[in-house]
Amino acid sequence: MTAGQVSTNRVFAEDDLVPISALQHYVFCPRQCALIHIERIWNENRLTAEGRLLHERVHDAESESRPNLRITRGLRLCSFRIGIAGIADVVEFIGEPNGSAIPGLQGRWRPRPIEYKRGRPKLDRSDAVQVCAQALCLEEMLNVDVREGGIYYGRPRRRQTVLFTDSLRDETEQIVYQTRRLIRSGETPAATPDGRCRSCSLSDYCLPGTAGIKKSARRYLEKMVAR
């Protein structure tokens, strides 16, 4: 199935909505995604704790209102077309003559989702996919055109602009499809150990050195017991 086929008019029930956070987990590691969203396993390390505290501070801050700018925090989002739901850290509403009418606001506005991350920009596209998914929700909920968003990284303390190109939109919808297929399967993929495992908070549950395709957990246990 191609990305274009995934994005056709499809309506999902509320119980079928995939968490937007699961998309980032899937891009980072499908096994991690399955451990969290199928097996319901979670464990905090220093990195995840710092990330959680950052999101809590962002969500708890008061909304702001300035001329031609409205800042909303912790906004709940969903798309029944592609079947996702989640919470945006921040959505900025920019006053623009060519913007759209937004319920509850006078004038014309263009929304811009902003995601906050504790660390540095990643080598993969997980952060861009996550904020693009938020944009797709905003477009459906508000019937507006969302052209760009942003990701604020805590280490360089800098915001990175994300343009919602056709290719990123297609990639995001494809990731939604793949993530939903994984969760619906109820099966956790085999481990594929690499450098990502060192920073994963679920390493002790995943056991990447023993749960790979060519690894036997039974032989590992027998070896440990025999010591």
- In DSSP terms, which residues pair with 113 in a beta bridge? 91
The DSSP result for 103-141, as a single string, is TT-SS-EEEEEEEEESSPPPSSSHHHHHHHHHHHHHHHH
Evaluate if residue 2 carries a pLDDT over 50: no
Q: What is the pLDDT of residue 138?
A: 96
Q: Which residues contact 205 (CB under 8 A, 6 or more apart)?
A: 35, 41, 43
Residues in Cβ contact with 58 at an 8 Å cutoff, skipping those fewer than 6 apart: 73, 74, 89, 90, 116
Select from 24, 210, 201, 191 the least CA-distant residue to 117. 24
Say yes or no to pLDDT of 215 above 50. no
Amino acid present at 138? L
pLDDT in tens, 22-51: 999 999 999 999 999 998 887 655 444 444
Between 188 and 193, the more confident residue is 188
* pTM higher than the cut 0.85: no
CA 20 to centroid of chain Cα atoms: 4
Is residue 224 over pLDDT 60?
Answer: no
More confident residue, 160 or 191: 160
pLDDT for residue 150: 97
Count the Cβ atoms, other than its own, within 10 Å of residue 226.
6
